[in-house]
């Protein structure tokens, strides 16, 4: 399993320029 | 923003500005709590707090300049320690109680409804008492919390429990800068140099307790997951699984 697949949500929240709080 | 060369006072301001809000549980269960209702409330809170923790981490100077791999490693390693130090800070003025949220305040006896939980509550309450005795200041707290995040996974390669960081030097620079800010803040207290050194040691020694409680808490959460009586949220599961995978 790739790192990206293993950590889907964490990756998405870290990578996105929008605040994780708004994304969630 | 880069952290290298940032003056200590500015580091303290940035750290204080990055602080997450105290959340509301909203989904209040009726008392007396059962193992299922208690764990449902606590895991729901942890999941919500994790999102705010990621937002907090992204505001730490230098954090988003790290590779995504290193950001993930640090958060996966330290997330429960960061949740616990935040919990203890919120609870510092309420002896005998843990303030999980504005509307979720629990005392030790309530934790006995969950097998194995009272032991962790006792450790959290004891360490919170130590914070209270030391009269921990907001500036010291924000430094300690950032140090917990940066320190937890920084040297983990020594134990082979997780992948090494891509850029441990960058993490070390962040760690040193925040440690300098903590030392600078303590130096303004008017205490003697010996008292300042002692306080630095007293505060940093608390981190060993926090690591221990996190390890205990991680095992406990894993046992709850295995019982399969409380559905865990996706982000929380992902963070828990990271520890199992390692």
Give the contacts of B70 (CB within 8 A, at least 6 positions apart).
B165, B166, B167, B170, B171
Interface test with B, best of A10, A11, A12, A15 (most B CBs within 10 A): A10
**Side-chain-side CA neighbours of residue B54 (13 Å):** 29
Q: Residue A5: which pLDDT band, with cuts at 50, 70 and 90?
A: low
Task: Report which DSSP code applies to B97.
Answer: E
Quick one: which of B95, B84, B92 has its CA closest to B131?
B92
Q: How confident is the model over B72-97, as a mean pLDDT?
A: 97
Cα angle B13, B17, B21 (rounded to 5 degrees) comes to: 150
Contact between B242 and A6 using a beta-carbon 8 Å cutoff: yes
| Structure-token pair, residue B197 | 């050194």
Calculate the average pLDDT of chain B. Answer: 93
Rounded to the nearest 5°, which phi and psi values hold at B99? -95, 90
CA distance B193 to B157: 35
Torsion angle, alpha carbons of B119, B212, B184, B192, to 10: 70
Q: How confident is the model over B151-172, as a mean pLDDT?
A: 78
Cα angle B30, B31, B35 (rounded to 5 degrees) comes to: 95
More confident: B70 or B246: B70
Q: How many CB pairs under 8 A join A and B?
A: 45
| Prediction ipTM score | 0.86
Quick one: which of B128, B138, B118 has its CA closest to B96?
B128
pLDDT digits 0-9 by tens, B183-223: 999 999 999 999 999 999 999 999 999 999 999 999 999 99
Contact between B54 and A7 using a beta-carbon 8 Å cutoff: no
A20 at B interface, C-beta within 8 A = yes
CA distance B112 to B35: 9
Contact between B238 and A7 using a beta-carbon 8 Å cutoff: yes
Give the contacts of B219 (CB within 8 A, at least 6 positions apart).
none
Q: Is the pLDDT of residue B107 over 70?
A: yes
Question: According to the model, what pLDDT value does residue A1 have?
Answer: 46
B245 at A interface, C-beta within 8 A = yes
CA distance B164 to B143: 24
pLDDT digits 0-9 by tens, B162-191: 778 999 999 999 999 999 999 999 999 999
């Amino acid at each position: 399993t790739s790192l990206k697949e293993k950590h889907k949500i964490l990756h998405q929240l870290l990578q996105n320029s929008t605040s994780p709080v708004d994304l969630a | 923003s880069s952290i290298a060369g940032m003056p200590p006072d500015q580091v303290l301001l940035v750290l204080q500005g990055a602080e997450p809000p105290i959340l509301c549980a909203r989904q209040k269960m009726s008392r007396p709590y059962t193992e299922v209702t208690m764990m449902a409330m606590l895991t729901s809170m942890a999941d919500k707090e994790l999102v705010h923790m990621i937002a907090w981490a992204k505001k730490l100077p230098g954090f988003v300049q790290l590779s995504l791999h290193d950001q993930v490693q640090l958060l996966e390693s330290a997330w429960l320690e960061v949740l616990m130090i935040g919990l203890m800070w919120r609870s510092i003025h309420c002896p005998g109680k843990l303030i999980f949220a504005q509307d979720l305040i629990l005392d030790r006896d309530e934790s006995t409804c969950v097998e194995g939980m009272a032991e962790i509550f006792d450790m959290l309450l004891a360490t919170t008492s130590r914070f209270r005795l030391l009269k921990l200041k907001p500036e010291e707290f924000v430094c300690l919390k950032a140090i917990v995040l940066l320190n937890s996974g920084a040297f983990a390669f020594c134990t082979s429990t997780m992948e090494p960081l891509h850029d441990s030097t960058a993490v070390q620079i962040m760690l040193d800068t925040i440690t300098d800010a903590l030392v600078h803040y303590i130096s303004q207290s008017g205490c003697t140099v010996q008292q300042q050194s002692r306080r630095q040691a007293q505060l940093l020694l608390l981190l060993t307790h926090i690591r221990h409680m996190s390890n205990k808490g991680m095992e406990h959460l894993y046992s709850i997951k295995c019982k399969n009586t409380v559905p865990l949220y996706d982000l929380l599961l992902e963070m828990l699984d990271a520890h199992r995978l390692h």
